[in-house]
Amino acid sequence: MYSEKVMDHFSNPRNVGEIENADGVGEVGNAHCGDIMKIYLKVEDDKIVDVKFKTFGCGAAIATSSIATEMIKGKTIEEAEKLTNKAVVESLDGLPAAKMHCSVLAEEAVKAAIEDYRNKNNK
């Protein structure tokens, strides 16, 4: 049902936690499934130098949050903003159809954190 990558990111999630005084924070949720994702960004010179997440949800929600943080760490804000749910799914070697919404939440959480960063910094 789940790929090895999904199971690895669920069992050993990367970048878990929160960043105090984060430069950008994005929180999204899906009332239908109960998943809630929160992404924290630390930005220096328009580059994401640290990223953390806290997710309440299923294994796929945790795995998509984990891989999304890995995918944007070290990227510029502009590069990170191009993250798509399709790229998240591909990086995890696929997701079951019933769990595709988790990849959408991961994309939305990253974009919400970037929007928060931009609002805080008038960008």
| Cβ pair 108, 61 in contact under 8 A | no
Name the pairing type of β-strands 24-30 and 47-56: unpaired
Task: Work out whether strand 47-56 and strand 35-44 pair parallel, antiparallel, or are unpaired.
Answer: antiparallel
Radius of gyration of the chain (CA): 13
Gap between the Cα atoms of 28 and 108, Å rounded = 7
**Residues identified as active-site:** 33, 102
3-state secondary structure of 17: coil
